[in-house]
Amino acid sequence: MPQMTTNAATDPMIGRMIDRRYRVRSRIARGGMATVYLATDVRLERRVAIKIMHGHLADDQAFRERFIQEARSAARLSHPNLVGVYDQGAEDDTAYIVMEYIPGITLRDLLQEHRALTPEQATDILRAVLAGLASAHRAGIVHRDLKPENVLLADDGRIKLGDFGLARATTANTATGAALLGTIAYLSPELVTRGAADSRSDIYALGIMLYEMLTGEQPYKGDQPMQIAYQHANDTVPAPSATVPGVPPELDELVAWATARNPDDRPADAREMLDHMSGDHPRATGQYRTAVLRPENATAILPSGGSSAPTSADDASDPTTILSPPADTGPRGQQRGRNQPGPRRTGNQPGVLSPAGQRLADKSAKRRKRGWIVFAIVLVLAIIGGTIGWALGPGPWGNVRIPEVAGKSVTQARQLLEAEGLHTASTTARRFDAVIAKGEVSTTKPAAKREVRKGTAVQLVLSNGPRMITLPAIVGQPESTVTAALDDDFDLQDTQYQFSADAAKDTVIAATGRDASGAVDLGKATTYAERGPVTLTVSLGPVPDVVGKTVADATSTLQGVGLELGSQTEQYSDQADEGTIISAKPTDDPAVKGTTVDVVVSRGPAPIELPDVHGKTIDQATSTLEGLGLQVSVPDCTNILCRFYDWKATLPVSSTDPVAGTTVHRGDTITLAYEQ
């Protein structure tokens, strides 16, 4: 399983703890449904591969069910050539599968590096894949997505088949929907034309893979998927030797058999094809027979009649010849044919044995006596052996396994050891332990599960509690820097994210831990217990300022950072245009992703009902209207008398434009009319 690393800045899953058990380390590969990560099972302290479904598919029930189906299908299978499945679950909207981690490369990587493989290499890989696939077919599982990317070549030489993402039971073998599942280059003709798949469809894909391993290329090519699909449905896969001279004819025939367009002309399942390659299940005709070497030292069966060679073709082909006993043609032979075998009695003296019969009876008596002696010796040896076995087993000389006493008190540990016939050493040792509480047993010497002789003294190693480790700078540092500095020594919990106007995006605002006294502010602490839990709080930057924006623009801006537009209150405003936001406030403090932001939206200037100023002097009317925020326009007085007195303070208003009672707004202009 090739490893493709990435960092937390580009993939938020890196560093995350799944189900409080699986620490995601790096990304291995990404597919259409899910991404595979290298993770650490902190409970069992082993590396695993964890397959996490893409977040955008979480709401698609069909994809979610297919993802869970993969775990159930693969978990039903157990075979050395199949990738093991350990666990499956869901956390929040994240569905995951925990699998065996196989360090190495895929068959696709090997083909890209070497192009074509030798016939020996190709058949070795094919046998391993067939062995694993035969286990799946026997369980009623069809893989449906066989391709070089799903064949894993481990660094230690193991070959495993993985990724049962499209696997289905053979009783539900019809594809649904308009789209065909699987990779188009390896789809069988029946999948292309009818959307139906069974174990023979997997065999077709293996035939295409064998062709590719032998030649370094796929048999069908095209610019569009439909061109390749058409060739699968209508063409015959060419012989590999036509492209690479020297490919054995047996492999040409194997490719032709596996890729026959009619499923009935292919092997029924992987077991039949594997048996055929091993020579255990030859086909009825020689058209697709794979040569099998016989052992060099086969046992020869001699025919009857004492001859050292077969006397006929029939004799030579008969695997076993039964030899008849020699015929007894004399009088004794005739007598034995009429009577049961045994000592002969004389005809004249009933009950008296003949000399030959007496000798036979004496020999029988001696044999019976020797039999009793042998039986007695065997019985004595059995008793002695049983006694020794008991002494070396459950008895005082036997071996026992040291029980697991980690996490127990000294008294409890001593009782468990003594129950197994072991002694507790008079002295104890101590060591730091990040898991076991101080004063409890951390381990033993020899270690738990070791097999030792009864009566062995076992030393208890007590826990000094976790080792205290100096903390690096945390608050104000970039999240990636802090995560890298803490990950090896502490147990990083799920990071908390919140908006902050005082901290730049992706910087750590706070760090909290926990000890016997409760919560610990790690931003102010200088040391902290090894493997202690650490929760980081990281800034998402300030909440975006949406004042002055329209509601649509504000909604887009807030959703872009994970916030939602909340309630909308309208308010008249002389300064803000109608429809724009006057103010905004998050409902949570501090705000986190998903928090709603309530806004006040401008309705524009408040409406004013124009008052009746008829009969008031021009100055009085002007003062009243300007007090309401209106503009006043008064035509100049053209009467010559107006030059000699304050006419605005004297002349009454006769009318207004617009008329009294009209709805106006602040800033509107009102024209006053008067008699000159």
Kindly list the catalytic residues. 145
Residue 140's contacts (CB-CB under 8 Å, 6 or more residues apart) are 169, 170, 171
Sheet holding 564-571, edge to edge: 564-571, 596-602, 581-586
Distance, CA of 266 to CA of 261 (rounded, Å): 8
Distance, CA of 424 to CA of 438 (rounded, Å): 20
Distance between alpha carbon 134 and the CA centroid of its chain, in Å?
23
List helix spans (H) across 279-409: 313-317, 331-338, 355-392
Task: For residue 626, give the H/E element and its range.
Answer: helix 618-627
Token code pair at residue 226: 């439909």
Helix, coil or strand: residue 612: coil
Q: Supply the Cα-derived Rg of the chain in whole angstroms.
A: 46
Helix, coil or strand: residue 346: coil
Distance, CA of 646 to CA of 188 (rounded, Å): 105
DSSP strand pairing (423-424 vs 457-463): parallel
Phi-psi region of 524 (alpha: psi -120 to 50; beta: other; left: phi over 0): alpha
Token code pair at residue 82: 């199949």
Helix, coil or strand: residue 651: coil
Distance, CA of 608 to CA of 626 (rounded, Å): 12
CA distances from 82 to 74, 86, 164, 228 (A): 8, 13, 10, 29
Is-contact 321 312, C-beta < 8 A?
no
Which residue, 533, 536, 518, is CA-closest to 475?
Answer: 536
Which residue, 131, 134, 162, 159, is CA-closest to 146?
Answer: 162
Amino acid at 189: P
Distance, CA of 112 to CA of 76 (rounded, Å): 32
Is-contact 57 64, C-beta < 8 A?
yes
Question: How many C-beta atoms surround the C-beta of residue 219 within 10 A?
Answer: 22
Which residue, 644, 618, 646, is CA-closest to 632?
Answer: 618
Task: For residue 66, give the H/E element and its range.
Answer: helix 61-75
The beta strands (E) that lie in 42-192 are given as 46-53, 85-91, 94-100, 104-106, 141-142, 151-154, 159-161, 168-169
Which residue, 623, 634, 616, 617, is CA-closest to 670?
Answer: 634
Which residue, 330, 327, 201, is CA-closest to 269?
Answer: 201
Is-contact 391 398, C-beta < 8 A?
yes
CA distances from 181 to 174, 192, 476 (A): 11, 10, 49
For residue 652, give the DSSP letter.
B
Which residue, 141, 192, 196, 132, is CA-closest to 170?
Answer: 141
